[in-house]
Amino acid sequence: MDPDVLVVGGGIGGLSAAFALARSGSTVRVLERATEFGEVGAGIQLAPNCTRILDDYGLLDKAVALGVVPEQMVMRDAVDGTELTRLDLRDVESRYGFPYLVIHRSDLHRLFVDACRDAGVELLTGQCAEQYATGADAATVTVTGGEVHRARLVLAADGLRSVARKRFVDDEPVSSSYVAYRGTVPVAEQERPIDLDEIVVHVGPRCHFVHYGLRGGQLVNQVAVFESPKARAGVADWGTPDELDSAFEQTCDDVRARVPSMWRDVWWRMFDRNPLATWVDQRIALLGDAAHAPLQYMAQGAIMAIEDGWVLAHHVSRHRHPDGDVDWDAALADYQAVRPEHCRRVVTTARSWGELWHLDGVEREQRNALLRSREVHDYSFIDWIYGPTALFPHEEPAMFEPIPLASAVAEGTAATQA
């Protein structure tokens, strides 16, 4: 039987949307191209705008048990190691009502796989979507081999290189020329002391380094990101381990000591997508990276996808008639009305934050001075993202009005104008 909704893509965004729609009363089928459900990578940060949703789903306690709830986020200069600014994450939890959580991507993914199964979502693997088609009342997806799936709504959560996105715009992923190396290390094998109550970000000229605890403090997650000279020069083979070592040669002792423990057989080139204003084409809708792949500097990529699914399911519920039928056009119109502008701002702000983090010379000194002048409990640069505005902008309370100076710093403009 045809489901109400087909979700193309079994990543965190697709599965969380499938679960949200199933719990709202829709029948849902997920099409995953891989032969089994799984997630690559290491740690992921979940800010209060995401843990708020996990709590609504009844999954927050399980997520907390699998992850770490740190007390501080500290930003340091990667060259001299001095502190620039910090977030009191316990106060963040008090302000927004939900914790800041770090968790292994595979643990979060498995949480949604299990939730989908419990909710009756049909999970199919080995289903590579090749063609989308839509009409006024239904849409279809043709997978490799010719099988056609049909539903009232097709939700394309097919990632950075989305096939469905080509229905909306003829564009390509945008390379930042930055590359990320990752690695998880057992705490017991750490040679240098580490405070697992902190998320630490070292920002330096054309590079940064992040570390924090995972899995109840058993592991340390580390991420090293740098600009590739080969990429800037147009060399095809860029982001190689020799560039990793060279990029962090001039950083402080703590960063240099951690670089050798990064995985060196795989690396992630950093791409995003230009903002897309239209996500809905009759009964096909985009979700997650297919619509708004960001750079990683705000740690909001997976969160935006989870928000997309929550918001869409909310509007599907609002437009469900007493007989169980849904006004899909009205639900999709409401989804289109609230998500693209918010996600556009995240994508463009993430680009600005990346520029801010990687400044050199006099501009680096100006950035450091501005960050050191920030009050610990100044939340003007994150209120718009951690508060309820991400889900329903028209319900923004007065407490989330921005303070111009801090907003300018957050969006990467003040450092070059000081």
Q: Cβ(149)–Cβ(7) under 8 Å?
A: no
Alpha-carbon distance of 410 to 414, in angstroms, equals 8
Active site residue 57: no
SS3 349: helix
Task: Please report how the helices 301-318 and 48-57 are oriented relative to each other, as an axis angle in degrees rounded to 10.
Answer: 40
Structure-block tokens of residue 202: 């070292």
By CB atoms closer than 10 A (0-12, 13-18, 19+), residue 319 is: middle
Any residues with CB less than 8 A from the CB of 199 and at least 6 apart, and which? 45, 70, 72, 73, 74, 89, 102, 210, 211, 212
As a whole number of angstroms, the distance between CA 403 and CA 416 comes to 19
Give the torsion sign (CA, 153, 20, 345, 108). negative
From 96, 132, 181, 212, active-site residue: 212
Q: What is the CA radius of gyration of the chain?
A: 21
What is residue 53's DSSP assignment? Answer: H
Side-chain-facing half-sphere of 308: CA atoms under 13 Å: 33
Q: Which residues are catalytic?
A: 212
